[in-house]
Structure 1
Amino acid sequence: MSLLIRSRFEFLRKFDAEELINIYDASLRRAYDDYLEHKITAEFREVYKQAYRGSRRATRGGIEALAFLREHGYRIAIVTNGQLEDQTEKAKAIGVSHLVDQIITSEEAGCCKPDKRMFDMAMEALGASPENTHMVGDNAEADIKGGLDAGLQAILYSPGSEDEERELFGTTVPVLDSMYDLTNLLTGGFPEFEPRIYY
């Protein structure tokens, strides 16, 4: 994706892909934080919410990976900096609500990732222990640091990455460029399903 963007916008060619991804992620987090903290106007919040809702879809391979893991006895929680109503609606809209045991939101936790209390809440809800729990996330600071601080085994989801692992916060963390790889990493097997695109 970053190669496509850099080929279309000449002024972005001076940045490497990792730098562009980091800038994009930081901007997205800032906008989302402003949205959650009501720092933007009500009119913009409504426009943002409608645009966001209209563009939601499951991560490629995500539904298949979750279904495969559920079939193999994994309990699954979504841990998110958001509001419960919005996140529950999102899980239904993208087709994963039936594959998830619990949704833990910053709204109900009273804190945001990377605060370890979010992850502790998820483990308590699932009846899980840190040594047997994985945190899969696409945000190094919120997801990976938070998961590591809670004693979890962290896995970075970084689409398009060629890294198999990355050193983050003093720990070597596996890197997935596809959710299809998650099943192989966790179970040692590869599910037999055809990739699908969800809109």
Structure 2
Amino acid sequence: MKAKYIIFDLDDTLMYEIDFLKSAFKEIADFIDKKNQEELFKLMLIKYHEGENVFDFLINNYTNFSKEQLLQMYRNHFPNISLNEGTDDLLKKIKSKGYKLGLITDGRSVTQRNKLKALKIEDLFDKIIVSEEFGSTKPDERNFKIFLENDIEEYYYIADNTKKDFVTPNKLGWTSICLLNQGNNIHTQNFDLEQKFLPKIIINSLSELLKL
């Protein structure tokens, strides 16, 4: 069996970023107005989907709180989130085959680490790269080359963001795989790009990886 390294993105790949946002909004709404928490949470979501700046709305209407205070709560709260359907089983099956598992995620250390702890998957990965800890963000080659090992013959990278996720894996000769947006992603996917930015394979669900 060829040695393989299966490397994932986190947000909108293993979990939906919108779930983290909702978790944070609920905590902020409860902190600001415990009596009307549910109504405020729903209003915050409406403002978000309408493209308004939710934090500006909050500090303009709840003047006892600062924008920085609320942003820190958003970034640092311990989220109530879950893995996308079938993901836990998939990761464990990959490990059971003897393949190595990696993760590359952009974001603040405390935010991304809290997500991983909440999802209970931190210990499944052989190596985790969080951009703030590492000092550079995707598509910097360093974030990918750190996974290169002499005994690994094949690399797979599974992610969702066509702007930054696939250009470097393509350059390195990895198999780049895009999880197609099913309508829940924070960022839109644009496939009208130069070939170097496009994934080699597109899948509708992570379960399709088992066939590969």
**Range class of TM-score, shorter chain:** 0.5 to 0.7
More helix, by proportion: 1
Choose 1 or 2 for highest CA Rg: 2
The farther-off stretch of 166-175 and 104-113 is 166-175
TM-aligned CA deviation for residue 144 of structure 1: 1.5
In the alignment, what sits opposite 1:145?
Answer: 167
Instruction: State the Cα deviation string for residues 14-67 of structure 1 (Å, max 9, x = none).
Output: xxxxxxxxxx9xx9xxxxxxxxxxxx942232242267x434221222111111
TM-aligned CA deviation for residue 159 of structure 1: 3.9
Q: Tell me, yes or no, if the aligned pair for 1:104 and 1:122 is still in contact at 8 Å.
A: no
Picking from 105, 108, 112, the partner of 1:83 is 108
Gaps of 5+ in 2: 1-47, 52-65, 184-190
In the alignment, what sits opposite 1:120?
Answer: 145
Q: Tell me, yes or no, if the aligned pair for 2:155 and 2:175 is still in contact at 8 Å.
A: yes
Letter in 1 for 2:172: A
Q: Tell me, yes or no, if the aligned pair for 1:145 and 1:169 is still in contact at 8 Å.
A: no
Instruction: State the Cα deviation string for residues 82-121 of structure 1 (Å, max 9, x = none).
Output: 2344333321211212321111111232210011110011
In 2, Cα distance between the equivalents of 1:143 and 1:43? 31
In the alignment, what sits opposite 1:155?
Answer: 177
Q: Tell me, yes or no, if the aligned pair for 2:176 and 2:199 is still in contact at 8 Å.
A: no
In the alignment, what sits opposite 1:72?
Answer: 97
Instruction: State the Cα deviation string for residues 103-153 of structure 1 (Å, max 9, x = none).
Output: 1111232210011110011335xx665x51111001112222232233321
In 2, Cα distance between the equivalents of 1:113 and 1:180? 25
Point out which structure has higher relative CO (alpha carbons under 8 A, 6+ apart): 2
Q: Tell me, yes or no, if the aligned pair for 2:179 and 2:206 is still in contact at 8 Å.
A: yes
When the two chains are superposed, the root-mean-square deviation of aligned CA atoms in Å is 3.0
In 1, Cα distance between the equivalents of 2:136 and 2:180? 25
TM-aligned CA deviation for residue 184 of structure 1: 1.5
CA 1:84–1:101 in structure 2 vs 1: closer, same or farther (change >3 Å)? farther
The farther-off stretch of 145-154 and 94-103 is 145-154
In the alignment, what sits opposite 2:62?
Answer: none
Q: Tell me, yes or no, if the aligned pair for 2:141 and 2:168 is still in contact at 8 Å.
A: yes
In the alignment, what sits opposite 2:79?
Answer: 54
Gaps of 5+ in 1: 1-23, 28-39, 186-199
In 2, Cα distance between the equivalents of 1:168 and 1:69? 31
CA 1:180–1:67 in structure 2 vs 1: closer, same or farther (change >3 Å)? same
In 2, Cα distance between the equivalents of 1:84 and 1:48? 13
TM-score, normalization: structure 2?
0.56
Aligned length: 141
TM-score, normalization: structure 1?
0.59
In the alignment, what sits opposite 1:36?
Answer: none
Q: Tell me, yes or no, if the aligned pair for 2:178 and 2:199 is still in contact at 8 Å.
A: no
Letter in 2 for 1:76: L
In 1, Cα distance between the equivalents of 2:204 and 2:147? 25
TM-aligned CA deviation for residue 172 of structure 1: 5.7
In 2, Cα distance between the equivalents of 1:167 and 1:70? 35
